[in-house]
Amino acid sequence: MRVSLTFLITLQTLNPQIKLYQINTLQLQAGKENCLSLLTLDKRETKYYVAVYSQQRCLLAPQLVLKEKLTGLMEQFKGFLVRKDFRETDLVNQFQVLRSEFTLLKKVEEVDL
């Protein structure tokens, strides 16, 4: 994350006319689907960053979840797609679908971590 922010700060310093946008990564992965969106946080796949979305509406706010709790979430949201680590995700399509969800930032300091 620090490398990305450093890059954005440098980019904005060099050219203040460049527009920067932000979106939650889990929302980007989910798109408009009913979806349990996961990002793996460790090599052994024991911790995940998780959120649940239904038609772009957040049903479960992004949070850290251990593997043991993940099964319960999958059962709670049975029938929802499970998208993990952007596998089989068409990013170009997701960017187009969620265009209205991106937030324009005036300064890099506004990034919501």
102: pLDDT strictly greater than 70 = yes
pLDDT of residue 113: 56
Mean pLDDT of 48-54: 97
Q: Angle at CA 27, nearest 5°, toward 19 and 97?
A: 70
Instruction: Say how far apart CA 77 and CA 79 lie, in whole Å.
Output: 6
**pLDDT tier, 1 (very low <50, low <70, confident <90, very high otherwise):** very low
Mean pLDDT to the nearest integer, 17-35: 90
Q: Is the pLDDT confidence value at 71 over 80?
A: yes
CATH 3.30.420.200 fits 26-89, yes or no: yes
Q: What is the mean pLDDT of the chain?
A: 88
For residue 111, give both structure tokens: 């990034």
Whether the predicted pLDDT of 4 surpasses 90: no
Domain residues of the chain, as ranges?
Answer: 1-23+98-113, 26-89
